[in-house]
Amino acid sequence: MTQQAEMNELKHTSTTHDHNGCRKKAIHTAEQLCSQRGVRFTPIRREVLELIWESHRAVKAYDLLDRIKPKAGTAKPATVYRALDFLLEQGLIHKVESLNAFIGCSFSDRRHEQLLLTCVKCYEVEERPGERVMEAIAKELEQASFTIQRKAIEIHGICGRCAPTET
């Protein structure tokens, strides 16, 4: 499947979007990748990933903690942060720096750069490959002799679903 076809499949422009398929695919991919890499996909790591994938909205660490506590009453902030660190290291989630929150990674099975589009109305975050944008930025950075440690571009605006409601 091409990246464009995957993006069309992932696009959630319908108000009746069944997000359960997104969550199932993300968990299945995480299980496979962790197994291939020889790392443990513990129950708490799985739970945090499932909670992140409950929607396409970015979720904050303390919101995750509040939602885990009823299930695992002894959960502490460090427990959630360790799980988030693991999921970030494995490329299963992304941090939306401007929101200090996390989203599930739609392309966790391959190395990629982040172009994150955040709707300021519904707060959903869409991950895009943005190859041409990233190539242009890479050229600029190369000309500046700037060594990249991590590259993520976050753009805030109004998504296609919310745009018709704009006046």
Annotated binding site for Fe cation: 131
Q: Which residue in 134, 142, 51 sits closest to 92, CA to CA? A: 51
The alpha-helical segments, DSSP class H, found in the chain are 3-10, 20-37, 43-52, 61-68, 77-89, 131-143
Q: How many angstroms separate the first and last alpha carbons of the chain? A: 38
> What CATH number was assigned to the domain covering residues 19-165?
1.10.10.10
Residue 2 has pLDDT above 60, yes or no: no
pLDDT digit string, tens, across residues 30-89:
999 999 999 999 999 999 999 999 988 999 999 999 888 766 667 788 889 999 999 999
What's the rounded mean pLDDT across residues 86-94? 95
pLDDT of residue 96: 93
For residue 109, pLDDT beyond 70: yes
Structural domain boundaries in the chain = 19-165
In whole angstroms, give the CA distance from residue 66 to residue 46: 16
Q: What is the mean pLDDT of the chain?
A: 84
| Residues contributing to the annotated binding site for Zn(2+) | 119, 159, 162
pTM: 0.79
Residue 164 has pLDDT above 60, yes or no: yes
Reduced to 3 states (helix: H, G, I; strand: E, B; else coil), residue 163 is: helix
What is the pLDDT confidence band of residue 112, given thresholds at 50, 70 and 90?
Answer: confident
Residues making up the binding site: 119, 131, 159, 162
CA-nearest of 133, 74, 130 to 106 is 130
